Each structure stands twice: as C-alpha cells, then as structure tokens.
Amino acid sequence: MRWLRRNLVVIFGLGTLAYMILPNVVVTVFSFNNPTGRFNYAWQEFSLDAWKDPCGVADMCGSLSLSLQIALWATVVATALGTAIAFALVRYRFRARGAVNSLIFLPMAMPEIVMAASLLALFLNMGIQLGFWTILIAHIMFCLSFVVAAVKARVLSMDPRLEEAARDLYAGPVQTFVRVTLPIAAPGIAAGALLSFALSFDDFIITNFNSGNTVTFPMFVWGSAQRGTPVQINVIGTAMFVIAVLVVLAGQMVGNRRKKTQHQ
Amino acid sequence: MTATAAPPRAEAPAEPPVHKASARKRLVPYWLLLPGILWLLVFFVLPMIYQASTSVQTGSLEEGFEVTWHFQTYWDALTEYYPQFLRSLLYAGTATALCLLLGYPLAYLIAFKAGRWRNLLLVLVIAPFFTSFLIRTLAWKTILADGGPVVEVLNTLHVLDVTSWLGMTEGERVLATPLAVVCGLTYNFLPFMILPLYTSLERIDTRLHEAAGDLYARPSTTFRKVTFPLSMPGVVSGTLLTFIPASGDYVNAELLGSTDTRMIGNVIQSQYLRILDYPTAAALSFILMAIVLIMVTVYIRRAGTEDLV
C-alpha cells in the first residue's frame, strides 16, 4: 500500500501516457490488417500487402506529396517572416509595439474555425479561385504567430552582452548577426520551423474551408472516413510516427552532445 | 536538476539596447515587421472585416448577397443554435478539465521523476503531433467499437450505468455518444495541456520542495502550497490552449459522435460548405468568437496572469 501511495504520480502519469499512445498502437497494428470490407475498423487477418504497396491507393500519395510541399513552403515563408517580427519586437522600441503584440496573439486566441470561415468569406467576396495558393496563404497566416512566439522566447533569454562583445571586437553588424546572433537564436528558429511544419502538414479545419477541390493528405483521410478507409492510411500513419520519433530523438542526441562538448 | 548544478545565468536586462542612431536605423524595426504584419492584415484582419460584412447581408447564392444591415441574423442564429453553443462549451469545458486532470500527473512525472527517461517521455508526448490527428481520431472508432474490449470492460465494471445515468452514454454503446466525443477531444488536445504544464513545472527550483519538507510540510501540503501555485502560468496557458480549439472543433463530433452530439463547429461547417447560407454562418462564427474572447479575457483577469503573452 505504501509503495502504491508513493508511486501514485508515476502510475497516473504512465496511465495518461498509455491513453496518448494507444491510438498509435492501434494504427500500427491495423496497418497489418487485411480487412474484408471497405472499412478498416475490425481485425480480420495478418497481411503485409499494404506495406508492400503503400501507394497502391488512387490519389493517396499525390495528396501526401501535396501536403509535404505546402508544409515546406509554409514553413519557409512563415519562419522568415516570423523571425523578423520576433527580432523587431524584442530588440527595438517603437510605436505600435503593443498593437503588433496583440495582432500576433489574436490568431492563437481564436478557434481555428473562425479564421477558416473568415478567410473563406474573403476569398468568396474577391472571387479568388480556391486551391493550392489559398491553402498556402492560410497556412502561412496561422503558422506565423507560432513562429513569432517560439523565436521571441529564445531571443528574450539571450544575453545582449555577447553581441556587444562581438561589436567591441570590431565585428560589423552583418558579421555580428551571422556569427553571433543567428547561431544563438537558432534553436528557437528551429523550434518555430518544426512547429510550423507539423501544424501545416496536419491542418484540417482551415484547409477544409479553403481548399476547393484540392485534396491534401488530411483531406484525403477525411474523405476516406466516409467512403472507406484503405489500410495504406495506417501504413502512412505508422511511418510518420516512427520517422517523427527518430528525428526528434536524433535532434536531442545532437543537442546533448553539443551541450557536453560546450561544458568541457 | 539543472537549476542547482548550472551556474546562475546572466539576466538579460528588461530594456532592450537603445539604438540612438540615424533616421535610417530607426526605420529598421518597421522594415522587419512590414512583410509579416502585412500578411496578417491582409489575410487575418481583412477577412474578419469581410466576414462581419457577410454577417449583415441578405440574399441567396443565385441572386447574390447584399449588405442590408440585417442584424436579425444574429438573433435568429443564436435562438436556433443555442443548444449547439451550450453543447460546445460543455464538451470543451469537460475535455479541458479532463486534460488538466490527466495531464498534470504526466507533466509532473516528466519534470521531477523521469530522470534519464525524461527525453524519451517528452518525445512520446510530442510525436503524435506528427502522425495525422485524423488517422489517430479514426483509431478511436476501433478502440471504442460496440462490443469491443473497452466497452466490455466498462460495462462489466458498471461504469456505463453511471455514464448512462449522467446522459453521457446510451445503453451498451460508447461510440456515437457524448462520452466518445469528449474522449476524442480530451485525447486530441492533451499535448497542448502537457507541454505548457511541463514548461512551468520544470522551472520550479526543487530546493523549494526540500525547504517545504524541512519545515515539516507533508507532500500533499507541499504540492498545494508550493508546487501548484508556482505552476499556475502553465495551468492557465494549458487550459486556454485546450479550451479554445476544442470549443470550435467539429472533427471529433463528426467522426465519433452522432447528430445528437453536433457542436457549433459542425453547424458553421455545414452552413458554409453544404447549405451555403453565408450570412448565418458568418454570424455564428462571430458569436463563437465573441463568446470565446469574453471567456478568455475574464479567465485571464481572474487567474491574475495578464502578463502571460
């Protein structure tokens, strides 16, 4: 009993973790299923077919590559624009600073569907054709705030004396920025970029409103929930999970090693 | 803990370095801001204005819409769809409470007890972000399936009797009931609760815990008087990050619920994309925005963390 009481937090915590991981386990298990009907909700028999032919479903891999392209471009643009805003907000005093801060905060404090609907109202009123470009515009818009938040947090904790020291050593403004400021801000920028990529790649609500007939991967999954879910969707889901875990673990290992070498 | 081992970090001064320079240099922040702010003005603020104008239009898709300052739409929308509004707030509120209840022990575990497992646990919290959330939500259909193991166990333990009595489930089903929708919402937004909680817990100096112990505080007292108050910023931002998106969500209600569990997001979605009644849809999403902004403002005032952002 005492052991139980002492480890209550650990037990509850691991319980929550199990709750969070359970769907991923189900997705993985059902990627080896061989369903009889159109839906992959009940276990039938073990099969490797879907793994041998992940692109065997019409249009699925096309939607996947479209989502990757959109996420990549949204990340590049949102990270560039967001980093500039973050630096301006932290490093300079200027009028309208408060207004800019609230403008950045508002998209995060609003249900996604409100932004999705209002963008649709704009595009409809202006007669703009919905598709790749409207999706990209929308994704850059909502990723921007998250990049600003991530980069701002990092730049705020930076010691400005490092830059002063660089300037004292006769580094020009450009040299100071490239050799000192940017490397220190890099983790924040990387976090913002990673978050943008994940948010854009996985976005459904805003895309649902502003995609017209263009089908991104989440849109494909949504459609398949009505028409019948191919097993290949689970294969992609499993692969994404494994890749994500490996990438994040690798990133942390690199970070740890760098920390160790810095301490020596 | 790094807090005790690492030397104290130099505090950055609150005021940024003052750039007293030429007019050209004074324009630098504006040039940095220009592209991003322009983007937000054109694709965030302008759309809101368009939506405001749409909400006071009348007409039909065939004849075209016209601004007639028809505020009646707001009243009609509110009277017709108030059950969906209430349901959204109720589901989102319940999911937020559950997220806090479930998320806190895990955040605490990662921050204080995980030791060398900390990184792995963090990865497991973040990794679901990268698997499509729609695929994972569909997996809940399998988990909660009628006659499946989960329903069977809940039934044997008479949990379903209690939830039926509460109106959360019907008979021996979980799918297509409010419980399934709340379960999906809780699941989907848990990481948004855990990460801010973890961040604020991790900042707590563990020496405070030792000090509380030295002063004969029991672990529960230490938690109530030291740990929890210090984690308030995380609690506030976690609940906001959970409640706001959950209140506008329609994916969980659509995939795991039934017509009886429709949330306001489902209504807005079908008004905009199926029924094509744009004025009503615009009015509905403005009402939702107003409700959420008012609740958030009041909540932040109450919680006393106005310098949160």
Measured distance CA(B45)–CA(A122) in Å, rounded: 10
A175 touches chain B (CB under 8 A): no
**Chain B residues closer than 8 Å to A260 by CB:** none
B76 burial (CB, 10 Å; 0-12 / 13-18 / 19+) is: middle
Determine the length of chain B: 309
Cα dihedral across residues B294, B296, B302, B305: positive or negative? negative
Residues of A in contact with B273 (CB under 8 A): 208-209
Q: How many CA atoms lie within 13 A of A156 on its CB side?
A: 10
Distance set, CA A26 to CA A47, A227, A238, B135, B148 (Å): 15, 20, 10, 10, 13
How far is B33 from A90, CA to CA, in rounded Å?
Answer: 12
A179 contact partners, CB below 8 Å, separation of at least 6? A166, A171
> Which residues touch B205 (CB under 8 Å, ≥6 apart)?
B1, B3, B4
Supply the pTM of this predicted model. 0.88
A198 touches chain B (CB under 8 A): yes
Which 3 state secondary structure label does DSSP give B50? helix
Contacts of A208 in chain B (CB under 8 A): 269, 273
What are residue B100's phi and psi, to 5 degrees? -65, -45
CA separation for the pair B188, B208 (Å, rounded): 34
**Count of CB atoms situated within 10 Å of the CB of B306:** 9
- Residue A1 CB coordination number (10 Å): 5
* Helix orientation angle between B133-143 and A217-227, rounded to the nearest 10 degrees: 30
Of A110, A144, A205, the CB nearest to B39: A144
Is B126 in the A-facing interface, judged by CB distances under 8 Å? yes
Cβ(A31)–Cβ(A51) below 8 Å:
yes
Question: What pLDDT tens digit does each residue of chain B (309 aa) get?
Answer: 333 344 444 444 445 555 455 677 788 888 999 999 999 999 999 999 999 988 888 877 666 777 777 788 899 999 999 999 999 999 999 999 999 999 999 999 999 998 888 888 988 888 877 788 999 999 999 999 888 888 988 888 988 888 888 888 888 888 999 999 999 999 999 999 999 999 999 989 889 988 998 899 888 899 999 999 999 999 999 999 999 999 999 999 999 999 899 999 999 999 998 888 889 999 999 999 999 999 988 988 888 654 444
Residue B95's alpha-carbon distances to B181, B184, B195, B228, B249, in angstroms, are 9, 9, 16, 20, 12
